[in-house]
Chain A
């Protein structure tokens, strides 16, 4: 009965709520391993394409911000080190932790390190399949093996910031632990990319 309900839910492809992320067990009912792997990555995509992640994975120019992914204010550039301009780098405002504003609602996000993803890892505007191919490509993912990619997704602190983004920002769906489990299952099923 449980499998039937899960399968029905999969077929309906219900949109996820902001806080929801389905674990690997949800996809066990997909018999074909390649299809299961692609479905697992599609689920990972709920995190990868969330504004908490995408905002610092721009394809051109500097970061975006907010759930509407508007241009960063104040205006900032990527810079040669993915860390902003001389005299206006990321740490001019962002520090090692989220900091609540003292005189207004909200907070400024922070983590050590705080920087843009390299241009080769730009995701904004790409399809999930394109993101998947890119994320597997050592020439574009910072030389990471799939194992290193799992470690990154499961334990990297800046990735984890997405679930602890500070007052005034919606966290990425699920948890980093669950995201790591999905990544593990995706790799173990062949790391197949969705269409």
Chain B
């Protein structure tokens, strides 16, 4: 039995505690905004927030989140995610879209942790673990700059 909080709601799951959090989110809680990409922490598509910090859910055993707070893209709130969403729409960032949930989670985390507007280098370092098969990287970077301006960082 694993008890934790997902998007502000108490959750109890009576499933194998060794399965990845990603499996539980998608298959048991039906929160399919978080994507499976590689399963080996190489692509970032499965990024969620674990106690407020980005975390690859494909390499996070369910047992590890006991008593923790998990936020998926469905449950993100606050000025940073709003600025990122607006920038993503304005710049038309996604192409196929598969990786974009993870891209948005990492971008939002970066802006949450930035006291000033992130530089290109800081954006590249923060987003290096989010792979995009459509190579939207230039638009991702532009959108993060745009969101930082919205947030007046």
Contact = CB atoms under 8 A, between A and B. Distances in A.
Interface of A: 73-77, 79, 85-89, 91-93, 95-96, 99, 101-104, 106, 108
A92 B60 contact: no
**Chain B's interface: helix, strand, loop or mixed, by majority?**
mixed
Contacts, number: 79
Nearest to B23: A102
A13 B112 CA distance: 55
Interface of B: 19-20, 23, 39-42, 44, 47, 53-56, 58-61, 64, 106-107, 109-110, 112-114, 118, 122, 125-129, 131
B106 to A, nearest CB: 5
B40 A108 contact: yes
A73 B42 contact: yes
A95 B114 contact: no
B42 A88 contact: no
Contacts of B126: 85-88
A95 B113 CA distance: 20
Contacts of B41: 93, 108
Contact of B42 (A74, A87, A95, A99): A74
B39 A74 contact: no
Contact of B129 (A79, A91, A92, A106): A92
Contact of B109 (A74, A87, A103): A87
Contacts of B42: 73-74
